[in-house]
């Protein structure tokens, strides 16, 4: 699937033309100063709920990827199950003390 690129100025000047481009191209990338800012995808009354669910999955995948990157940076990606259980027990004990 091809992605059409549209500058934000063009989008704001003629949103109807941009929506028509979404229908034709399948998706449109909106840029500001040449940098990606938004992606427009086609939807309909019949598909918008499932489209939103798919976008939620994209957000979740991004969050998981960020958590994994942080674990690598902190070195917690290599913890054994015994070390994980020890961390959980310590966190629970600290919570009970509050």
Q: Are residues 58 and 92 in the same domain?
A: yes
- Assign residue 25 the CATH number of its domain: 3.40.1620.10
Q: Are residues 76 and 87 in the same domain?
A: yes
Q: Are residues 63 and 32 in the same domain?
A: no
pLDDT at position 2 is 84
Q: Are residues 49 and 7 in the same domain?
A: no
Domain of residue 25, residue span: 1-42
Q: Are residues 30 and 63 in the same domain?
A: no
Q: Are residues 64 and 34 in the same domain?
A: no
Digit-by-digit pLDDT tens for the chain (98 residues) are 789 999 999 999 999 999 999 999 889 999 999 999 999 999 999 999 999 999 999 999 999 999 999 999 999 999 999 999 999 999 999 999 98
pLDDT at position 1 is 72
How many domains does the chain divide into? Answer: 2
Alpha-carbon span 6 to 37, nearest angstrom: 10
Q: Are residues 10 and 56 in the same domain?
A: no
Q: Are residues 38 and 73 in the same domain?
A: no
Contact 27, 41 (CB under 8 A): yes
H or E element: which one contains 5? strand 4-7
Alpha-carbon span 75 to 73, nearest angstrom: 6
Residues 6+ apart with CB under 8 A from 87: 79
Q: In what order do the strands lie in the sheet with 4-7?
A: 4-7, 28-32, 35-40
**Bridge partners (DSSP) listed for residue 7:** 31
Alpha-carbon span 81 to 23, nearest angstrom: 50
């Amino acid at each position: 699937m091809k992605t059409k690129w549209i500058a934000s100025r063009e989008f704001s000047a003629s949103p109807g033309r941009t929506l028509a481009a979404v229908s034709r191209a399948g998706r449109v990338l909106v840029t500001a100063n040449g940098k990606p800012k938004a992606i427009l995808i086609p939807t309909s009354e019949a598909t918008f709920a499932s489209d939103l669910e798919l976008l939620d999955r994209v957000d979740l995948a991004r969050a998981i990827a960020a958590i994994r990157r942080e674990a690598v940076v902190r070195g917690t990606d290599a913890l054994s199950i015994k070390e994980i259980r020890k961390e959980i027990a310590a966190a629970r004990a600290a919570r009970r003390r509050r």
